[in-house]
Amino acid sequence: MCTLGDFNARAHRWLMLALFGQLLLLWSLPLTSSLWLDETVTWWMASGSFETLWQRGSEFSGGSPVPWILPWASMKLFGSSEWALRLPSLLCMAGAVLVVAAIGRRLFDRGTGFFAAAVFAFHHVVQFEARNARAYALAMLGAALATLALLRWLERPGFLRAVTYGVCASLTVLAHFMFGGILIVHAAWVLVFRGVRGPCWSIREIAVLALATLAGLVPAIGLFLDVGARASGLMVSGVPYIEALLRELAPHATVAAALIGVIVLGVLGRLRRDAAAPPLARRVLLALALLFVLPPIVLFVVSRWTAWQVFLPRYASWHAIGFALLVGWCWRQVAGQGSRILLVVVLCVMGSGAFLTRSHFVNEWRGVSAAVSVELERHPGAPLLAHTGLIESLDASFVRDPEKSAYLLAPFAAYPVPSGHELKALTWNAHTLDAQVLLEELALWLEREHKAFVLASRDTNEPGFWPFFRGRLGPLGWKDRRLEDIRGNMIAVVFEKLP
């Protein structure tokens, strides 16, 4: 005869399997779709030798080669397809779901851990980054592992546990420097949990933890210095409004699912509190609240009232761990296993409706490259002018540098056009003085040496290049036509000089 504990353990295993089955379906559907802009940078980073990866990773993007190692290894094993490039992100985020479940179980109980894992898995940022070939899934896994490692140290301080935390913290920061803010939250946790998760630790034990963390962060010192030196060129979020902050604190799919589930339970008369559910001590509530609200609020305040405009959802995405643990605990309070499972079912159904798609993003670089290639074959030697919209293109000197411009042309490295055609990168837009100088030089070069060229841009809200060349070359006998049937927010225009 099965006891209640045996049944819960068995049910927990089946529920986790069902959750992972649905997640793998949702996350796998768009794996073969076209890479979007940032993913083509990952392809460019990971497409060469390991030495090339290390050099490019140290010089471009976040300044750390660590997040590109897994995509590089996956491409070496499985080829250079889209799914091979995205596979490491899927596996890292799946690991993060398991770690969140382990954190919930350690803080409360097994049921809370499962509900927290389900809420985390259907968070909009988690859904996107799980199938996104970028650094954020690895950084999220590192943040979750660091949180779990800190909890283990809080329960029983020791040298090995301190070293484990230092390694996880280092992985998090090296994966993405903006995730370094979790160290501030963890420092607050040490004070909040003092004497709660275990015996009060000594100054010596805290010193060991601090030294282990600092030792783990030594490889990231150069990263921070490099990012700080070029920080102004990495901030494009704009000044945020309070609505953006509220969207981050209350993800629509999760909140709507919670409300609908509670309404259904209320109608059925089953909305009762489980007297056996784990309590939420004030210090635990404070710790989880810090993990949940602090990241987006800090980025919001910094972006709103300083020149550092860094309020982007992905930069604060690790706050989803705290959000999931809080919501998971709330759902655990509902009496009856069937009622709690109903809440998860509602979340899964609504989450599937929100994220069930075969297309990963609106950038359709594969289609643009195919359409552009057809035109280039019709015009031998015609150059391609590419506005990819990478943030580094704000700097005109970056665009002019042949080695650095290769980074800006990453989409056409991932999806190459026919050989024999020169590729030129364009600036962020056509409106600055530096951009106007560069465009005038290009116009003179095109008029002097070519009879046709193709302009490709990732932005249908025309950044000014099409009107510039139409106004500059049109009076000289050039005609332009926009290519049709290009999906997403992309445009391609062919310019031809009439005889």
Which is more confident, 493 or 226?
493
Q: Please check whether residues 84 and 13 belong to one and the same domain.
A: yes
Q: Please check whether residues 114 and 27 belong to one and the same domain.
A: yes
Which is more confident, 82 or 214?
82
Flag whether pLDDT at 341 surpasses 60: yes
Q: Please check whether residues 255 and 375 belong to one and the same domain.
A: no
> Domain for residue 228, yes or no?
yes
Q: Where in the sequence is the domain holding 145, given as residue range(s)?
A: 4-355
Q: Please check whether residues 410 and 266 belong to one and the same domain.
A: no
Q: Please check whether residues 347 and 379 belong to one and the same domain.
A: no
Last residue of a domain, one of 291, 323, 355: 355
Percent of the chain residues past pLDDT 90, beyond the cut? 47
Which is more confident, 498 or 357?
498
Flag whether pLDDT at 242 surpasses 80: yes
Which is more confident, 187 or 459?
187
Last residue of a domain, one of 328, 355, 382: 355
Per-residue three-class SS string for the chain:
CCCHHHHHHHHHHHHHHHHHHHHHHHHHHHHHCCCCHHHHHHHHHHCCCHHHHHHHHHHCCCCCCHHHHHHHHHHHHHCCCHHHHHHHHHHHHHHHHHHHHHHHHHHCCHHHHHHHHHHHHCCHHHHHHHCCCCCHHHHHHHHHHHHHHHHHHHHCCCHHHHHHHHHHHHHHHHHCHHHHHHHHHHHHHHHHCCCCCCCCCCHHHHHHHHHHHHHHHHHHHHHHHHHHHCHHHHCCCCCCCHHHHHHHHCCHHHHHHHHHHHHHHHHHCCCCECCCCCCCCHHHHHHHHHHHHHHHHHHHHHHHHCCCCCCCHHHHHHHHHHHHHHHHHHHHCECCHHHHHHHHHHHHHHHHHHHCCCCCCCCCHHHHHHHHHHHHHHCCCCCEEEECCCHHHHCHHHHHCHHHHHHHCCHHHHCCCCCCCCEEECCCCCCCHHHHHHHHHHHHHHHHHCCEEEEEECCCCCCCHHHHHHHHHHHHCEEEEECCCCCCCCEEEEEEECC
Q: Please check whether residues 334 and 445 belong to one and the same domain.
A: no
We report the CATH number of the domain holding residue 394 as: 3.40.50
Q: Please check whether residues 33 and 161 belong to one and the same domain.
A: yes
Flag whether pLDDT at 4 surpasses 60: no
pLDDT band for 7, please (50, 70, 90 cuts): very low
pLDDT band for 59, please (50, 70, 90 cuts): confident
**pLDDT score, position 482:** 93
Percent of the chain residues past pLDDT 70, beyond the cut? 92
407-439 residue pLDDT tens:
999 999 999 999 999 999 999 888 889 999 999
Rg of the chain taking only CA atoms, in angstroms: 26
> Domain for residue 110, yes or no?
yes
The count of other CB atoms within 10 Å of the CB of residue 445 is: 14
> Domain for residue 360, yes or no?
no
**pLDDT score, position 334:** 84
pLDDT band for 475, please (50, 70, 90 cuts): very high
Q: Please check whether residues 55 and 198 belong to one and the same domain.
A: yes
Q: Which of 42-51, 53-62, 435-444 shows the lowest per-residue confidence on average (mean pLDDT)? A: 53-62
> Domain for residue 29, yes or no?
yes
**pLDDT score, position 1:** 32
**pLDDT score, position 38:** 92
350-380 residue pLDDT tens:
877 767 777 777 788 999 999 999 999 999 9
Predicted structure pTM score:
0.91
Which is more confident, 451 or 343?
451
Last residue of a domain, one of 290, 323, 355: 355
Spatial distance between the Cα atoms of 108 and 138, rounded to a whole number of angstroms: 26
Given a contact cutoff of 8 angstroms between Cβ atoms, the answer to whether 355 and 127 are in contact is yes
> Domain for residue 76, yes or no?
yes
Q: Please check whether residues 345 and 399 belong to one and the same domain.
A: no
**pLDDT score, position 262:** 79
**pLDDT score, position 229:** 54
Total domain count for the chain? 2
Given a contact cutoff of 8 angstroms between Cβ atoms, the answer to whether 187 and 194 are in contact is no
**pLDDT score, position 399:** 93
177-226 residue pLDDT tens:
889 889 999 999 988 887 555 556 778 888 888 888 888 788 777 666 66
Spatial distance between the Cα atoms of 85 and 71, rounded to a whole number of angstroms: 5
Q: Please check whether residues 294 and 424 belong to one and the same domain.
A: no
> Domain for residue 457, yes or no?
yes
Flag whether pLDDT at 394 surpasses 80: yes
Q: Which of 188-197, 319-328, 387-396, 482-491 shows the lowest per-residue confidence on average (mean pLDDT)? A: 188-197
Tokens 């030697």 correspond to what residue?
381
Spatial distance between the Cα atoms of 166 and 168, rounded to a whole number of angstroms: 6
Question: Quick one: which of 416, 418, 390 has its CA closest to 404?
Answer: 390
Instruction: Share the mean pLDDT of the chain.
Output: 86
Q: Please check whether residues 372 and 460 belong to one and the same domain.
A: yes
**pLDDT score, position 16:** 75
Q: Please check whether residues 265 and 341 belong to one and the same domain.
A: yes
115-170 residue pLDDT tens:
899 899 988 889 899 999 999 999 999 999 999 999 999 888 889 999 999 999 99
**pLDDT score, position 147:** 97
**pLDDT score, position 17:** 79
**pLDDT score, position 79:** 92
